[in-house]
Every structure is written in structure tokens, then in C-alpha cells.
């Protein structure tokens, strides 16, 4: 039995909104690197049952893929408490995926939210002054 969840446009928001850590593997059936990464992703899902591991089939979810500007697959995205904290295309070896999970668990989300709020405060000032971002 699979430890991963199929993510679609219909369940994406609800999955991310649950909070905690969500790892998404953006893939397609025709993609050899995607098929090669799948066992690594599945093994990590089995080892970390407290984390949601979702798979987004880019062929079946083109609008979702376009919305997140997925241009290369496989792409791994990590959300924590509803905030995208990592996005990178390419296959990852299991030890790198494990390290990313450790880093995601340790990430201080209060600091992340404070940094986002600060950037949002500065953005209108930069736009008004004509400064590039």
C-alpha cells in the first residue's frame, strides 16, 4: 500500500491548509527521472508517517502545475504550516531528502512568518519609490 497521497486541484488547498509538513513530488508517467525518484520518495513517506507526502501528476493537473510554475520534473516542494519553504527540480538521493526533512522539522516558522511580513511591508515602499525588488 502506498504511503503517498494523490494531489489534485480539488484537494490541494485542503492538504496544504492542514498544517504541518507537506512534501510534494511533481511528476509525470513518461518521465524517467520521475520514475527513478519515486521509490526514494515512497521510502521517505514510509519512514515519516507524520508528514504528508503528496504526488502531483503534472499531466493530469496542468493548471496546478502552471500555477506553481513547474517547468521541470521531478520537482520537489516542501510546505510547512501552509507556507512554501522549499522548491527544487531534479532527483534527490535519499540522504539529501532525509536532510531536507530534518531541516524542515527544525525550521522556526515564527521567524519565517516575521520575515514574510517584513518583506510585505517593504514591497509597497519599493514600488512607490520605483526601486527594483
- Contacts of residue 99, defined as CB under 8 A and 6 or more positions apart, other chains included, come to none
In angstroms, the Cα distances linking 4 to 12, 15, 35, 132 are 14, 12, 14, 41
* 85 labelled catalytic: no
- Which residues are CB-contacts of 95 (< 8 A; sequence separation ≥ 6)? none
| 31 given a catalytic annotation | yes
Active-site annotation holder among 34, 44, 92, 100 = 34
Residue 75: φ, ψ to 5°? -125, 135
Which residue out of 9, 28, 31, 112 is catalytically annotated?
31
Cβ atoms of 88 and 75 within 8 Å: the answer is yes
Tell me the catalytic residues. 31, 34
Amino acid at each position: 500500500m502506498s504511503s503517498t497521497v494523490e494531489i489534485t486541484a480539488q484537494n490541494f488547498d485542503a492538504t496544504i491548509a492542514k498544517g504541518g509538513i507537506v512534501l510534494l513530488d511533481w511528476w509525470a508517467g513518461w518521465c524517467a527521472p520521475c520514475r527513478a525518484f519515486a521509490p526514494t520518495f515512497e521510502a521517505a513517506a514510509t519512514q515519516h508517517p507524520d508528514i504528508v507526502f503528496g504526488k502531483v501528476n503534472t499531466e493530469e493537473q496542468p493548471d496546478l502545475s502552471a500555477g506553481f510554475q513547474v517547468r521541470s520534473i521531478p520537482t520537489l516542494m516542501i510546505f510547512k504550516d501552509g507556507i512554501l519553504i522549499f522548491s527544487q527540480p531534479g532527483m534527490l538521493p535519499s540522504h539529501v531528502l532525509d536532510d531536507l526533512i530534518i531541516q524542515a522539522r527544525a525550521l522556526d516558522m515564527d521567524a519565517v512568518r516575521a520575515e514574510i511580513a517584513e518583506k510585505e511591508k517593504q514591497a509597497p515602499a519599493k514600488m512607490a519609490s520605483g526601486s527594483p525588488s
